[in-house]
Amino acid sequence: MVQKVRIRYAKRGRLRFISHRDFARALERALRRAGAPVAFSAGFSPHPKISYVGAAPTGAASEAEYVEVSLAERVDPEAFAKAVDDSLPPGLDVVECVEARTGSLPDRIDGSAWDVRLPGVPVDVAASALQAFLAAESVEVDRKTKDGTRRIDARAAVRHAEVRASDLEPACAILSLVVRHTTPAVRPDDVLSGLRAVAGLDLPAPPEATRSAQGLLDEAGHLADPLAPDRAAGADAVADAH
């Protein structure tokens, strides 16, 4: 490996329903189509050196998914991003690509921001349910897993939450969440299960969750951009060259 790039990509529209495994296959095909000089592992069964960070659950859209790709030759990140984006299906879109210059990407991500559309739910009803949820010390909900039902605390991971009205739909509340990554991860549907448990919140239509950001949480519950240190290091390198 001579270079590592970090990609921010979006999962939009109908492509929110693809699984993480399906995305991994789509990305590998796109890299081959783009002629990317991907580095491979050694051994009997070499595989491309691609690292995924905190993939969104199937069914959720996202504007902030991250992946690292190790390369056997140096590339221009901007040209690399365009070539890969052109090779991916519409709805899987490369938003940004930077050269990995400092630190570890996973060490810069321990939280997510989500916007969850709640069609048919009035803002005052959603706000009342959220108030009850936030007032609770813990809100345990059941999640079905491949190993059976697991009970998790949906309240503990929520660092910030608020409800606002949709600009486009009169009867549609938007639930905004900032959630710390835990094991197991607390997802938007877990929080909705918690709102149902503590306040009987009824959802007349399927909710639509979109992850708007990932990053490192500070004490105020704000998320730092995980690619910012790489951009800063790149700017420093350019300045030093001049």
Q: What is the pLDDT of residues 142-186, one digit of tens each?
A: 988 777 888 999 999 999 999 999 988 888 999 999 999 998 899
Output the pTM of the full model.
0.92
Per-residue confidence (pLDDT) for residue 147, from 0 to 100: 78
Per-residue confidence (pLDDT) for residue 229, from 0 to 100: 95
Domains 3-107 and 110-223 alike in fold = yes
| pLDDT band with cut points at 50, 70 and 90 for residue 230 | very high
Chain centroid to CA 158? 16
Q: Poorest-confidence range of 27-41, 62-76, 223-237? A: 223-237
Which residue, 122, 225, 135, 111, is CA-closest to 175? 122
Topology of 3-107 in CATH? Alpha-Beta Plaits (3.30.70)
Please answer whether residues 2 and 74 qualify as being in contact, where contact means their C-beta atoms are separated by less than 8 angstroms: yes
Per-residue confidence (pLDDT) for residue 235, from 0 to 100: 67
| pLDDT band with cut points at 50, 70 and 90 for residue 43 | confident
Phi and psi, residue 194, nearest 5°: -65, -40
Q: What is the pLDDT of residues 76-133, one digit of tens each?
A: 999 999 999 999 999 999 999 999 999 999 999 999 999 999 999 999 999 999 999 9
Domain residue spans of the chain? 3-107, 110-223
**pLDDT of 237 above 70:** no
**pLDDT of 70 above 60:** yes
Q: Which amino acid is at 154?
A: A
Its CATH architecture, for the domain 110-223, is: 2-Layer Sandwich (3.30)
Q: What is the pLDDT of residues 12-35, one digit of tens each?
A: 999 999 999 999 999 999 999 999
Q: Poorest-confidence range of 168-172, 210-214, 223-227? A: 168-172
Per-residue confidence (pLDDT) for residue 60, from 0 to 100: 97
